[in-house]
Amino acid sequence: MKNMIAVIFGLGVIAAPWLGFARPEDPPPFPRCLVSTWVNKTCSGTCGTFYTICPGKVMCVFAAVGDFNASPFAPAVVPCEDYTSGTGTCNATAQCTGGTYVGSTSSVTVQVQTCPLTNCP
Partner 1 sequence: MRNLLRYMLIALLAYTAHGAVAADDRELLAAVGARPAAGLLVAYELQDVPQDQLRRIEIAVAANGDFHEKQFFKTAENPVAWQSKPMHYVHYSSDMLTASLPGMAAEYTQQPVPNYKDAVPGPVQWGLCPWPVAARLCQWLLDAPDLEIVDFGKSIRASSVRSMLALEADRNGRLLAVTRGDLTIQDTITFRFEYDDANLGAPARMSQIISAMPARSRQERRFNWKATSCAELAASPASVKFDPVELGASKYDPESGDVIHPIRGLLYNRNEVERQAVEASWQHKARPWAFGGLGIVVVAAALYGYRKIRQG
77 lies in the site for partner 1, by CB under 8 A? no
What's the min distance (Å) between Cβ of 1 and partner 1? 6
DSSP category for residue 23: P
Could you say which of 28, 36, 114, 118 contacts partner 1 (CB under 8 A)? 36
Residue selected from 76, 84, 108, 118 as contacting partner 1 according to rule CB under 8 A? 84
> Does 91 help bind partner 1 (rule: CB under 8 A)?
no
Is there binding between residue 59 and partner 1 (CB under 8 A)?
yes
With binding defined as CB under 8 A, does residue 118 bind partner 1?
no
Nearer to partner 1, 1 or 23 (CB): 1
Among 24, 27, 29, 103, binds partner 1 (CB under 8 A): 103
The CA distance from 118 to 121, in Å, is 9
CA gap 47, 12 in Å, rounded: 51
Q: Residue 60 CA to chain centroid, in angstroms?
A: 6
Does 9 sit near partner 1 (CB under 8 A)?
no
Per residue in 17-34, is it b (16+ CB within 10 Å) or e — as a string?
Answer: eeeeeeeeeeeeeeebeb
Q: Are 108 and 78 in contact (CB under 8 A)?
A: yes
